[in-house]
Amino acid sequence: MKKIVVLTGAGISAESGLKTFRDSDGLWEGFNIEDVATPEAWERNPALVQEFYNMRRKSVLEAQPNAAHYALARLEEKFDVTIITQNIDDLHERGGSTNVIHLHGVITRSQSSKNPNLTYPIDGWELKMDEVCELGSPLRAHVVWFGEAVPMIEKAAKICMKAELFILVGSSLAVYPAAGLVNYVPPGVVKYIIDLKIPFVSRDNTFIKMEEKATRGVPKLVNELLSEQ
């Protein structure tokens, strides 16, 4: 089956009611990112950081996949699909996609403060400060903070190198290294961008641009691709 690689960003989750990572005022849910999304913030005020991600997790669990998530899952009927997402929600999985790589972690899991490779499922939305990993270290949200390495980036780059069709949905291409993944797609591969605000993509004119929201553009493209098979 033809290999399709999809890179998704906050725009696809926004239509499920989840706030984008950075609003126009530079804040995330009213917080300075430096106060809730850095290792220094965790050292300085772990209770605040824990509470922030508990609230984000609650919002994620209350949200539902939208038409774009469901449409991407339908692609698996006739294609070999890998979704690489910058999002920390699990809406792709709940929408039916079976092969999802989370570049920045997934908020429904916790991780050890001492060893980021030790991760655990979270029962419900709340992660308490007295919950610890097997090493006795406090558990935190399984998300990649500013200043931390992106452990899945090399795997994602290798997958992009094998793409036979590439789709970018709802990403402003402002956060690196994720934004650089488009450069790993082989020359000549057909590439689509679906976004209400099409991001600037270097001098690459090979993208087919669909300037509309994900819940309209993605089902439309998926229907076209499936009908061609």
Write down the pTM of the prediction: 0.92
Q: Any idea which of 73-77, 141-145, 175-179 has the lowest mean pLDDT?
A: 175-179
pLDDT at 40 over 80: yes
Q: How far apart are CA 42 and CA 113, in angstroms?
A: 9
The CA-based angle 110-116-120, given to 5 degrees, is 30
pLDDT given at position 64? 97
φ, ψ of residue 82 to 5 degrees: the values are: -120, 125
Residue bearing tokens 């950075």? 22
pLDDT at 25 over 60: no
Q: In what order do the strands lie in the sheet with 207-210?
A: 100-102, 80-85, 3-8, 165-169, 190-194, 207-210
pLDDT at 174 over 90: no
Q: How far apart are CA 77 and CA 177, in angstroms?
A: 31
pLDDT given at position 33? 82
CB 157 within 8 A of CB 177: no
Q: Give the active site residues.
A: 104
Q: DSSP code of 45? A: -
Full 3-state SS string of 146-172 = CCCCCCCHHHHHHHHHCCCEEEEECCC
pLDDT tens by residue, 82-115: 999 999 999 999 999 999 999 999 999 999 999 9
pLDDT tens by residue, 180-218: 899 999 988 999 999 988 777 765 667 899 999 999 999
φ, ψ of residue 40 to 5 degrees: the values are: -65, -40
H helix runs in the chain, sequence order: 10-14, 33-36, 39-44, 46-62, 67-74, 91-94, 153-161, 214-228
pLDDT tens by residue, 157-173: 999 999 999 999 988 77
